[in-house]
Structure 1
Amino acid sequence: MNEPRRQFGSVAQTGSVAIDQGLRQYMLGVYNYMGLGVAATGLFSMYVASNEAIVRAIMGGPWMWVGFAGILGMGWFAPKVMMNGSKVAAHGMFWAYAALWGVMIAPMLYMTQQAGAAQDIYRAFFMAASVFGGLSLWGYTTKKDLTGWAPILGAGMIAVIVAIVLNALFFHSTMGSLLTSSAVILLIAGVTAWETQVIKSMYREGSAMNDRAAIFGAFMLYGSFVTLFIHILNILGIMRD
């Protein structure tokens, strides 16, 4: 009488183990892609930051705003390209995004180095990594459904982006920059946890879509990490000055 139950339990347990192993491999792929993207951005941005002529060209024209619009645009179109296009297109979008962020970050790194505070770059990186790692781990392990966070986080990010643009164009307020960067860090902390849970839920055992989902997941988390780094570095610079 108990034998069928034992067999059924064994099959269920084996299936669960297979799913767990597949999910771990999938998430490892997400973080590997993300890590490579961050490394590529760091190398590219440091190279650009070491060339004063390129940095001044970026800062002296409309290129910063063009790059900012490009990042927002790629963030908008990435889901369609990565999930509905080919794997090659998904890779192309991800690495183009990483390269564009490298260009955008370079002037900030250049100014930090010129101020004799290169150590702030490494400090900001490790602080961003600590915040990101803690929130992503919590998002992966928590049983709490974070779906309801999406509208609040989305509205908050739109409000902060508007505030950043207004401050850059009209107010030029150091306090305004400090407040908006602090708000971004708080929002991105929540976004990181929510994104990790969403990425985890995208996994399907044995699905061919997992590879593209992993690239898209890396794209999402990469953007959050880089945003954390930028605004932590901005706060360190304001506090230093």
Structure 2
Amino acid sequence: MANQFDERTRTGGFDATGTTSVPRATRDAGLRKYMLSVYNYMTSAILLTGIVALLFFSSGMAQQVFFGGGILPWLIILSPLAIIFAMSFGQNRMSTSTLHILFWSFAVLMGLSMSTIFLRYTGISIAQTFFAVSAAFAGLSLWGYTTKKDLSGWGTFLIMGVVGLIVAMLLNAFVFQSTAMGMAISAIGVLIFAGLTAYDTQKIKSIYQYVARDADLMQRAIIMGALNLYLDFINMFQFLLSFLGSQE
């Protein structure tokens, strides 16, 4: 996902050495606060999505909407994608408050869209998958945060993997319709987004030095970082659920 704060794509802005005059303890405390804010936004958005999905399903509206036909199901499914593109490509022109509104709107719309998992899978398998992904995400993100290994080389490979995954999913949905291929796609999807979790965490951490002196830039970086990690978590959850989940 395009990100103005990625130091590998920036052509201007803060000097990478701009924080060298700041005491190490102060920088570390600021970095911890920054990363905690990213995780808080991401976690809150995931909880909001889960609550909306459960309420929409429990009310019976999910069945009416998604089995009723018409254009509404497609609007619910495609609206989150439209918001992702708007935030990714319009973040330089949008105000911070607009990014906030779009971020929380995205979480709500994702909840409406993901309510369908309660129509397809048992509650136990959904809960088990959620906790398994939570544990895996925490470990992968911690490794991405603490490792000294430069993960920047993973970026192109993983993004190409996501594109290939989308193409394979479309082919399987409209051409092959193979259960075995669907399982393989799910397994590969879990691996790709596991790698992206570590990669994105390190990227978000590295961005801090460029935004540390500007409160508005930092808030933008927090929102976009939370969005990236949210997408990593949700995609890993959905792929693992389709791979291991018990059907209703």
If the TM-score is normalised by the length of the shorter chain, which range does it land in? Answer: 0.7 to 0.9
**What SS does the aligned partner of 2:26 have?**
helix
Identity of aligned residues (%): 36
Conservation of the 8 A alpha-carbon contact between 1:81 and 1:90 = no
Q: What's 1:227 paired with? A: 235
Match of 1:162 among 155, 158, 167: 167
**What SS does the aligned partner of 1:230 have?**
helix
Residue deviations 1:46-91 (CA, integer Å, cap 9, x gap): 0111233433422453555544443333333323444542121111
Number of equivalenced pairs: 225
- Amino acid of the structure 1 residue aligned with 2:144: G
Match of 1:92 among 77, 98, 101: 101
Q: What's 2:38 paired with? A: 30
Q: Which one has the largest radius of gyration?
A: 1
Match of 1:104 among 101, 113, 120: 113
**What SS does the aligned partner of 1:202 have?**
helix
| More RCO (CA 8 Å, sep 6+) | 2
* Pairs within 5 Å for 1:162-181: 162-181=167-186
* Pairs within 5 Å for 1:124-203: 124-203=129-208
More helix by share: 1
Partner Cα distance (2:79, 2:35) in 1:
27
Match of 1:207 among 200, 207, 214: 214
The answer for unaligned runs of 5 or more in structure 1 is 1-11
TM-score by length of structure 2 reads: 0.83
Partner Cα distance (2:132, 2:177) in 1:
26
Q: What's 1:9 paired with? A: none
Gap change, CA 1:57 and 1:219, over 3 Å in 2: same
CA RMSD of aligned residues (A): 2.1
TM-score by length of structure 1 reads: 0.85
- Amino acid of the structure 1 residue aligned with 2:199: W
Partner Cα distance (1:170, 1:59) in 2:
23
- Amino acid of the structure 1 residue aligned with 2:164: A
- Amino acid of the structure 2 residue aligned with 1:91: H
